[in-house]
Amino acid sequence: MNAKKLQNWKILENRKCYEAPPWISHSVHKVSLPDGQVIDDFNQVEIPDYAVVVATTPGGLFILERQYKHGIGKVSLTLPGGTINAGEDPLDAAKRELLEETGLATESWEHLGTYVGDANYGCGRAYVLRAWNAVQVAHPNSGDLEEMEIVQMTKEEILENLVLGEIIAVAAVAALGIAIIGGNNSPFRAA
């Protein structure tokens, strides 16, 4: 089967509508499609890239966090993670976030992939990293608005909570799915 050669859209104009650095930027693009059609108002949302950590203990239990998420207005289960600072390596950000939020650390890491939450509008890239054999080395100290409970779960308990709708952030759902299915032995693997 011959695949049609698809072409990128051309950005004719980029009008910034709202900026609240470093958290969010909204712009409207005027774009030209390959067939010549012009779209005057294609919205783009930029947020910082972020790390999502799927960590397990030496006993194979997964580390999750139960916390209030204001974007959804309720408490849910999620994974450790957060914003990658400007110039920061995704692996370093993942290590920092795991330590801050859970007090856990490890030297055994695997990069499971880099993904976007919304391919049409942008919304930052999620670097999904797997942390193996994480052990307690400090008390959690996220230093921000995150009040949470650290929860250890088996794979079966995670699957049950997914079905029950207790894990609803798409980055956490995808990261857990990828980790449970298997990783990809990328260069992030340290041990």
Whole-number pLDDT of residue 191: 33
Three-state DSSP state, 5: coil
Does any domain span residue 115? Answer: yes
Domain shared by 38 and 64, yes or no: no
Q: How many residues does the chain have?
A: 191
Domain shared by 114 and 58, yes or no: yes
Whole-number pLDDT of residue 187: 43
Tens of pLDDT, residue by residue over 86-99, are: 999 999 999 999 99
Supply the range of the domain harboring residue 38: 10-46
CA distance 53 to 98: 7
Domain shared by 74 and 145, yes or no: yes
CA distance 143 to 46: 24
Three-state DSSP state, 14: strand
Domain shared by 35 and 114, yes or no: no
Whole-number pLDDT of residue 9: 95
pLDDT in tens, the chain (191 residues): 677 889 999 999 999 999 999 999 999 999 999 999 999 999 999 999 999 999 999 999 999 999 999 889 999 999 999 999 999 999 999 999 999 999 999 999 999 999 998 999 988 999 999 999 999 999 998 776 668 899 999 999 999 999 999 999 999 999 999 998 865 444 444 33
Residues 66-105 as b or e (16 or more Cβ within 10 Å = b) = ebeeeeeeeebbbbbbbbbeeeeebbebbbebbbbbbbbb
DSSP 39: E
Domain shared by 30 and 124, yes or no: no
Whole-number pLDDT of residue 144: 66
The pTM is what? 0.88
Rounded to 5 degrees, what are φ and ψ at 146?
Answer: -95, 105
Domain shared by 146 and 75, yes or no: yes
CA distance 60 to 134: 10
Whole-number pLDDT of residue 123: 87
Whole-number pLDDT of residue 141: 85
CA-based angle 91:151:173, to the nearest 5?
60
Helix (H) or strand (E) holding 91: helix 90-102
Whole-number pLDDT of residue 7: 94
Q: Are 99 and 64 spatial neighbours (Cβ–Cβ below 8 Å)?
A: no
CA distance 54 to 28: 35
Does any domain span residue 167? Answer: yes
- Please give the tally of structural domains in the chain: 2
Give the β-pairing of 122-132 and 50-56: parallel
